[in-house]
Chains A and B, each alone.
Chain A
C-alpha cells in the first residue's frame, strides 16, 4: 500500500460511503490486520458507528475477516486491501460492458449488485424488474422470468459468482443451508490464507428459485393501490428458497474481457479490421480453455480458426493463412506460431501483448510530456537496453547538446536510469562506463503510482469546485425540485418561466461553467482508469510468471 494508493482509497471511500467508513477504512489500510478492540482504541470512533462501518465494508467486499492469528479462541481480525477499493473507479466501465453484452437487463443487474455489494438472486431480480417496469409504458411490466434468465446467463459466463461462505472460528456450527443445491463445504479449517470465491465447487451454480411475478410500479397516492400493495407486501415476504446464497460481481472475468478488448482494438489500429476479427475469433474460441493467468492461449489450428470465423467474413483459406502469417511477423507479437500440424498451430501471446501495450503507453507518456525527440531517445533505450552518451547521440541522430539536455530531463524524472560499469575495482570515475538504460517494469510501476496520484488530484479538485459553488448548486437543485413538482401537478407555462427566472443570467453562466468543469474532471477520472487497468494488468502478469 503506497501513500498514493491509500490517499486515493480514502477519497473513494469518502465519496461513496461517508466519512465514518473512510476513517475506518484508511486506518485498516495503514495498519494491516486488526481486531475490533484495537480499531476501537486507535480510531476513537464510537463502537456503534464502528460496527456499522465494518458491516458496510464487509458487505462490499472491501474488508475480509478471519479468525485471529493466535488460534481458534482469539478475536476475529479485519483486513482491507487497496485493490478492491480501487475497483470503485471502474464501476461505470463494468456496467457499460454488461449493457453491451446483455442489454438493459444485464446492465441493471450489475448496477444493483455493485451498489449493494452482494445480494441474493431473488432480491436482485425483484429490484431490477421493478426498475425496468418504471421505465416502461403504462400497463406493461417486466416479467421476473426474463430477469432470471439474464441473471442465469451472467452466471454461466462467470460474470457473477457466489460469495464465499465466511470462515468460522472455532467449533461453531455452519449456518443451516436452506435450499437444496448448496455448496457442500464443511467448516474450513483455520488457515492463514483466505479462501477465494473460486475455491468452492458450486460458485457458479444457479440455485433453484421459485420466482413468479412481474415488476411493480412505485406506490401511487391512491388509497386503493395502497391497500392492494399492502396485501401484496404480506405475500411477498415468503421465502424464495435461496436465502443465504449471495451473489457478487466477478471482477476478474470483467478484467479478462477488458484485456481481450484491448488486444483486439490494438490489432485493429495497427493492422486492419479483418485481422482484428481473426484475433477476436481466436480469443473467443479459447475463452473457456485458457486460465486467467496463462501466458498464451491453447494452440489453435488454422483449420479450426477458418471454421469458426463469423459467417459474414467470406475470406478464403489462403487469405486467412496470409493474414495469420502477417500477424505472426508483426513486431507487436500478438500472435505466435506454435507448430505446423493442422495447417499451422497459432496462439495468442497474452503476456507479451500486455507488455507491448504497456510499453506503448510508456512511450506515449514520454512523447506527450517531453516531445517526440525525447520519445525517440526513450524508444531507442528500450530497444538497445544500455547505451553510452555518445552512442545515444549517434543512434538518435540528435545534436549532442540537445541530446544531453533531453537525457538530463528524462533522468531527473526518473524515466531513465544510469548504470555504472567499472573497468577497475575502485570505481574511479575516469575509468568507468556510465550507461543510460530504461527498465520497463519499474518505470511502469512508477507510472502506475503517478496515475493513482492523478486520479486523487482530480477527485480533490472536483470536491473543491463543488464546495466553492455549494450555495449556487443548492439553489439550482431547489429550483429544479420546484419545477418538477409544478410540472407534475400541471402548472401553466407562465408559472414555470417565473420559477426558471429565479436563477439570474450570470448565475446560469456560472452554473454552466461549473457543470462543464465537473464533467471534464469526472471524464478524466474514467479515462485515467483505462491506463491504470492496462498497466496494472501488465504488472500483475509479470508477477505471476516470475
Chain B
C-alpha cells in the first residue's frame, strides 16, 4: 500500500510554510475546484454582523380573509390562555404592593384561580398534601406575637411622647388594628404597618394648634395658660 504522501504533520508544516509566502496559500490544487485565486471574496474581519445586508427583500406576507381570521384567533387565544388558571403567575410579585385593582377584582375571578384537575388522570404524588396547612398557622402565631410586642412598645413610646387628647383615640385604634391583624395574612400586615406608621408619625404641626373645641377655656390643659393664646 502506498504511503500517504502528505501525512498530517507534514501538511501542517507545508501550510505554515505557505503562510510565510502568502496569506491565501492552500494545501491542495485550488484549480480543481474551479475557483481561481483572484475570485475569492474578501476575508472576514471580525464576527458576522447581527443584521447583515441582504440582496433580495423578502416576499410580503399573504393577506386575506383567512389570514386575518387566523390572526384574530391567535391573539384571542393568547389572551384567553393568559387569563385561565392554567397560567401560573409568580407569586413573588403579589406581596410587594397591594394593587388598587386587586381590591376591585370580582370575587368570581379570584375563585377561578383555584382549578382542580381530574385526579384520576394524574399521578397521586402531584396532589397537594393536606399536611401543609399546619405550617402557616404556626407562622401567623409567631408573627402576631412579635407584632403585639412591637405594638406594645410603640404605644408606650407614643404615650410618653405625645401629650393630650390624641392618646385615648390612638390607643383605641391600635387595639382595633391588633384584633384585625390577627386574622389576616402576611401581605396585608405589611400594608397595615405602613398605615399605622402614617398615623403615628410625628409631623411638624404642634398639636396644640389643633382646635377641637375641648381646649376652649383652657380646661384640662395647664401648659397653655402662659403665653400661647387660643385661636
CA distance A315 to B84 in the complex (A): 53
A53-B88, A92-B73, A522-B74 known; A59-B117 Cβ under 8 A: yes
For B82-122 the 0/1 string (1 means CB < 8 A from A) is 10101111110000000000000000000000000110111
Q: Is A512 an interface residue (CB 8 A)?
A: no
Residues in A with CB closer than 8 Å to B90 are: 18-20
Contact residues of A between 23 and 54, Cβ < 8 Å to B: 36, 48-49, 51-54
State the main secondary structure of chain A at its contact with B: helix
Q: Given A54, A114, A429, A523, which contacts B29 in the complex, CB threshold below 8 Å?
A: A429
B157 proximal to A (CB < 8 A): no
Contact at B126–A51, with CB atoms within 8 Å?
A: yes
Residue numbers in B under 8 Å from A344 (CB-CB) = none
| Min C-beta distance of B21 to chain A, whole Å | 18
Partner of B84, one of A115, A120, A371, A434: A115
A434 near B118 with CB under 8 A, answer no
Interface string of A345-389 (1 = CB under 8 A from B): 000000000000000000000001111000000000000000011
Known: A18-B88, A519-B71. A246 touches B29 (CB 8 A): no
Q: Check A244 for interface membership: any CB of B closer than 8 A.
A: yes
Question: How far, in whole Å, are A390 and B35 apart by their CA atoms in the complex?
Answer: 11
Interface membership of B34, Cβ < 8 A: yes
The distance from the CB of A33 to the nearest CB of chain B, in whole angstroms, is: 13
Nearest-CB distance from B189 to chain A (Å)? Answer: 21
Report yes or no: A115 in contact with B81, Cβ–Cβ below 8 A. Answer: yes
Q: Are B33 and A96 in contact (CB under 8 A)?
A: no
Give complex CA distance A507, B63 in Å.
27
For the complex, give the distance between the alpha carbons of A484 and B117 in Å: 34
Residues of A within 8 A of B33 (CB): 389, 434
Q: Do B32 and A17 touch across chains, with their CB atoms under 8 A apart?
A: no
Are B67's CB and A526's CB within 8 A?
yes
User: CA of A20 to CA of B92 in the docked complex: distance in angstroms?
Assistant: 12
Interface string of A523-537 (1 = CB under 8 A from B): 111110000000000
A426 interface hit (Cβ, 8 Å): yes
CA distance A434 to B33 in the complex (A): 6
Measured between beta carbons, the chain A residues less than 8 angstroms from B35 are 389, 404, 408
Contact B71 A246 (CB under 8 A): no
Chain A residues positioned under 8 Å from B5 (CB to CB): 426, 428
- A76 with B32: in contact, given A16-B82, A17-B86 (CB under 8 Å)? no
Q: Indicate which residue in A49, A117, A165, A166 contacts B123 across the interface (CB closer than 8 Å).
A: A166
Q: A180 on the interface (CB 8 Å rule)?
A: no
Closest CB-CB distance, A316 to chain B, in whole Å? 34
Residues of B contacting A165 in the complex (Cβ-Cβ under 8 angstroms): 121
Q: Select B61's contact among A111, A114, A405, A527, beta carbons within 8 Å.
A: A527
A368 touches B59 (CB 8 A): yes
Chain A residues closer than 8 Å to B77, beta-carbon distance: 91-92, 95, 111, 114-115
Beta-carbon nearest neighbor of B73 in chain A: A92
Q: Looking across the interface, which residue of chain B has its beta carbon closest to that of A48?
A: B128
Chain A residue at minimum C-beta to C-beta distance from B121: A166
- In Å, the complex CA distance between A439 and B39 comes to 27
Q: Are B61 and A523 in contact (CB under 8 A)?
A: yes
CB atoms of B32 and A369 under 8 A apart: no
Q: Render A456-493 as a binary contact track against B, CB cut-off 8 A, 1 for contact.
A: 00000000000000000000000000000000000000
- The yes or no answer to A65 lying at the interface (CB within 8 A) is yes
Q: Assuming A15-B78, A519-B71, is B62 touching A527 (CB within 8 A)?
A: yes
Asked if B121 and A16 sit within 8 Å, CB to CB, the answer is no
Q: A112-123: contact bitstring with B at CB < 8 Å (1 yes, 0 no)?
A: 001111101000
- Decide if B126 touches A369 in the complex (CB within 8 Å): no
Instruction: Answer whether residue A75 sits at the interface, using C-beta atoms and an 8 A cutoff.
Output: yes
Q: How far is the CB of B60 from chain A (nearest CB, A)?
A: 10
Closest residue of B by beta carbon distance from A524 = B61
B55 beta carbon closer than 8 Å to chain A:
yes
Most interface-central of B34, B77, B80, B132 (chain A CB within 10 A): B34
Q: Is A93 interfacial (CB 8 A cutoff)?
A: yes
In this assembly, does B209 line the interface, its C-beta being within 8 Å of a C-beta of chain A? no
**Chain A residue at minimal CB-CB distance from B38:** A401
Interface pair B74/A166, CB less than 8 Å apart: no
Is B9 part of the binding interface, using a Cβ–Cβ cutoff of 8 Å? no
Looking at the complex, which one of B1, B69, B121 makes contact with A58 (CB distance below 8 Å)?
B121
Q: State the Cβ distance, B27 to closest chain A Cβ, in Å.
A: 8
**0/1 interface trace, chain A 427-470, chain B, CB 8 Å (1 if under):** 01110101000000000000000000000000000000000000
Give the total of A residues in contact with B, Cβ under 8 Å. 67
**Taking the complex as formed, is B231 at the interface, i.e. its CB lies under 8 A from any CB of chain A?**
no
Cβ of A56 within 8 Å of any chain B Cβ, yes or no, is yes
| Residue of chain A at shortest CB distance from B75 | A522
The residue that B67 contacts in the complex, of A59, A116, A388, A523, with Cβ under 8 A, is A523
Q: Mark A85-121, 1 if CB is under 8 A from B, else 0.
A: 0000001110110000000000000010011111010
Interface status of A163 (Cβ within 8 A of chain B): yes
- Contacting A405 at CB < 8 Å: which of B39, B67, B118? B39
Interface contact A432-B56, CB-CB below 8 Å = no
- How near does chain A come to B119, taking the closest CB pair, in angstroms? 9
B residues near A49, Cβ cutoff 8 Å: 88, 91
A506 at interface by CB-CB < 8 Å: no
Measured CB to CB, the closest approach of chain B to A502, in angstroms, equals 18
A116 surroundings in chain B (CB, below 8 A):
84, 86
A116 to B86, CA, bound (A): 8
Q: What's the nearest-Cβ distance from chain B to residue A14, in Å?
A: 10
A523 to B68, CA, bound (A): 8
Binary B-proximity of A48-86 (CB < 8 A = 1, otherwise 0): 110111111011100001000000000110000000000
- For B60, give the chain A residue with the smallest CB separation: A520
Q: Does A21 contact B (CB under 8 A)?
A: yes
Answer yes or no: A175 CB below 8 A from chain B CBs: yes
Q: Which residues of B contact A525 (CB under 8 A)?
A: 74
Does chain A have a CB within 8 A of B2?
A: yes
A186 is an interface residue with CB less than 8 A from chain B: no
B66 part of interface (Cβ distance < 8 Å)? yes
User: Across the interface, do B78 and A526 meet the contact criterion of CB distance under 8 Å?
Assistant: no
B194 within 8 A of A: no
A331 close to chain B: CB less than 8 A:
no
Jot down 25 A-B pairs with beta carbons below 8 A, ordered by A.
A17-B81, A55-B122, A58-B121, A65-B122, A75-B125, A76-B125, A91-B77, A92-B73, A95-B73, A115-B81, A117-B86, A166-B121, A369-B54, A388-B34, A404-B35, A408-B41, A429-B27, A429-B28, A434-B33, A520-B61, A522-B75, A523-B61, A525-B74, A527-B61, A527-B67
The 7 closest A-B pairs by CB, nearest first: A429-B28, A389-B34, A92-B73, A92-B70, A175-B120, A92-B74, A18-B88
> A-side interface residues toward B, CB under 8 Å?
15-21, 36, 48-49, 51-56, 58-60, 65, 75-76, 91-93, 95-96, 111, 114-118, 120, 163, 165-166, 175, 244, 246, 368-371, 388-390, 400-401, 404-405, 408, 425-426, 428-430, 432, 434, 519-520, 522-527
Known: A65-B122, A401-B39, A526-B67; 9 extra A-B contacts, CB below 8 A, are A21-B86, A48-B128, A75-B125, A114-B77, A368-B58, A404-B39, A429-B28, A523-B61, A527-B62
